[in-house]
């Protein structure tokens, strides 16, 4: 099935997204360093039964990259997803996110629960647990890359070829390299500058519980996210919540365990909503 290249608009920001198929909609949100077509295996496997939608996040690939870190605060990133849904004339969809796409997915479910039918997170703890993990001195070595991205001038140090080395498939690696060359290094690192405090990490306080059925998949050997950051996820969700650990897997599980991840996504989006509340 041919992929469509489409455009959504949030204010002055144009967002390119790939779409295919028809049926219940699933929106895929990529992370760093990735692009919308990083979900190729999932899109190809699911487009025969679903409307699959995968944007390039702002600053990445063919989407606009407005200048200034303030353009990359989470409110804008969440509104970008709402703009994609509006472009597709959708009021609700299943949302799948990895890395920064996962953080955006969590906040979308917190701030606009009515649009999230099912929620699937890859390698991404709840924002509260993520910030707590960053603040924990015992994780300093693991999260050192985040602090290096926040140093002035870090964007000029990015090596695009090195950023794509996590992709094993040569064709996919070439596609990612070309996409990253179109991306804005300042914008990509702007996500870290705009949303992760440089100093003391504040408490997020009371947040609305996520209302959508929530599936979290993570690799036990993820070098960037401590496994302990997934503890207590169920406390943040007022619905069925499942955590699946992939032994020996790393951070980019949508590539490393593509078939398994796709099967888990499909099974999750097919489950009935809040069925447990109606049990006798």
Bridge partners for 4 per DSSP: 19
Residue pair 60/183 in contact (Cβ under 8 Å)? The answer is yes
Report how far residue 119's alpha carbon sits from residue 45's, in angstroms, rounded to the nearest whole number.
19
**In this predicted model, what pLDDT tens digit does every residue of 91-128 receive, in sequence order?**
999 999 999 999 999 999 999 999 999 999 999 999 99
Rounded to 5°, angle at Cα 175 from 174 and 176: 90
Calpha distance 83→244 (Å, rounded): 31
Sketch out the chain's domains with CATH numbers.
Answer: 4-270 (3.40.50.1820)
Mean pLDDT confidence for 200-228: 93
Task: Give the angle subtended at the CA of 137 by the CAs of 136 and 138, to the nearest 5°.
Answer: 90
- The helix (H) or strand (E) run that includes residue 217 is strand 214-219
Q: In what order do the strands lie in the sheet with 116-122?
A: 4-10, 13-20, 51-55, 25-29, 93-98, 116-122, 214-219, 241-246
Strand, helix or coil for residue 210: strand
Distance separating alpha carbons of residues 85 and 90, to the nearest angstrom: 5
What is residue 167's predicted lDDT score, i.e. its pLDDT?
A: 97
Give the SS3 label for residue 9: strand
The overall pTM is greater than 0.85: yes
pLDDT digits (tens, 9 = 90+) for 133-179: 999 999 999 999 999 999 999 999 999 999 999 999 999 999 999 99
Bridge partners for 5 per DSSP: 18
């Amino acid at each position: 099935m041919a992929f469509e290249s489409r455009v959504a608009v949030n204010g002055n920001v144009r967002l390119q997204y790939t779409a295919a198929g028809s049926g219940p909609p699933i929106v895929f949100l990529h992370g760093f360093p990735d692009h919308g077509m990083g979900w190729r295996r999932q899109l190809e496997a699911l487009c025969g039964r679903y409307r699959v939608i995968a944007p390039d996040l702002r600053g990445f690939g063919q989407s606009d990259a407005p200048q200034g870190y303030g353009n990359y605060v989470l409110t804008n990133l969440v509104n970008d997803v709402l703009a994609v849904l509006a472009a597709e004339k959708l009021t609700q969809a299943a949302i799948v996110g990895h890395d920064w796409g996962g953080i955006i997915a969590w906040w979308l479910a917190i701030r606009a629960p009515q649009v999230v039918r099912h929620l699937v997170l890859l390698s991404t703890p709840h924002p509260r647990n993520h910030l707590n993990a960053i603040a924990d001195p015992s994780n300093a070595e693991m999260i050192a890359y985040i602090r290096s991205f926040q140093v002035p001038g870090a964007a000029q140090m990015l090596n695009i070829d090195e950023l794509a080395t996590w992709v094993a498939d040569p064709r996919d690696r070439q596609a990612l390299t070309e996409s990253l060359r179109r991306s804005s290094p300042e914008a990509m690192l702007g996500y870290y500058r705009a949303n992760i405090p440089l100093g003391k990490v504040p408490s997020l306080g009371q947040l609305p519980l996520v209302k959508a059925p929530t599936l979290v998949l993570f690799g036990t050997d993820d070098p960037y996210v401590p496994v302990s950051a997934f503890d207590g996820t169920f406390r943040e969700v007022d619905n069925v919540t499942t955590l699946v650990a992939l032994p020996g897997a790393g951070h980019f599980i949508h590539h490393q365990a593509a078939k398994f991840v796709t099967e888990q996504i499909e099974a999750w989006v097919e489950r009935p909503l809040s069925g447990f509340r109606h049990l006798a």
